Copies of this chain bind each other. A is one copy, B any other.
Amino acid sequence: METRTKQPDSRTRLLNAALHTLRAKGYNATRVEDLCAVAGVTKGSFFHHFRSKDELALAAIAHWDELTGGLFAAAAYHALEDPRERLLAYLDLRSELLVGELPEYTCLAGMLTQETYLTKPELTDACERSISGHAASLVADIEAAMQRYGVEDGWTAESLALHTQAVLQGAFILAKARGEAALAAESIAHLRRYIMLLFRDRSAD
């Protein structure tokens, strides 16, 4: 019976097409029909599943959150005992993810934020929640590290968490401008070094 090479359903195919194409071309330059072509469905099908292009973008962000949320939640480093090591391992994972074509490892939320700021408030909000939510997942480890390494320096765990996201977003822009993933990796390496310098053994002091 050979169930037609078991593809995901049309809706999911459209969402996956959106993840790829939106990151590659941005919101405005992506045509509904581009997505249909990539997903292998027709426009009729598209508007059956989504009321509008905007609604698809919102759904795509939700889809993105689900995928990435799962990826990081399942990562092995959460088992590490030292919270600083957990943070460093998180950055190492981010570096390892810089493989393949550029639009494959770039952040959807960061991309859309830039473009929809001021023109599509609901989209920007969704992106904000996505980024802030991901940043929030780092706060506990940062707080624990601050405690363990006796850091009391006038900055909050939340601000460092957001800073990590800023570095990643900025690294993606630089990588796009130059067309090399290596650049992004170097920026992450600088951030890693910063975290090592922040949380260092004070025993010698």
Contacts and interface: CB of A to CB of B under 8 A. Distances in A.
A186 B174 contact: no
Given A119-B25, A167-B167, A169-B170, A190 B155 contact: yes
Contact of A162 (B26, B111, B183): B183
B174 A131 contact: yes
A174 B166 contact: yes
A113 interface: yes
Nearest to A114: B114
Number of copies: 2
Nearest to A185: B159
Interface in A165-205: 165-171, 173-174, 176-178, 183-184, 186-187, 189-190, 193-194, 197-198
A130 B187 CA distance: 19
Given A113-B176, A114-B173, 6 more contacts: A28-B115, A124-B177, A162-B186, A166-B174, A167-B167, A194-B197
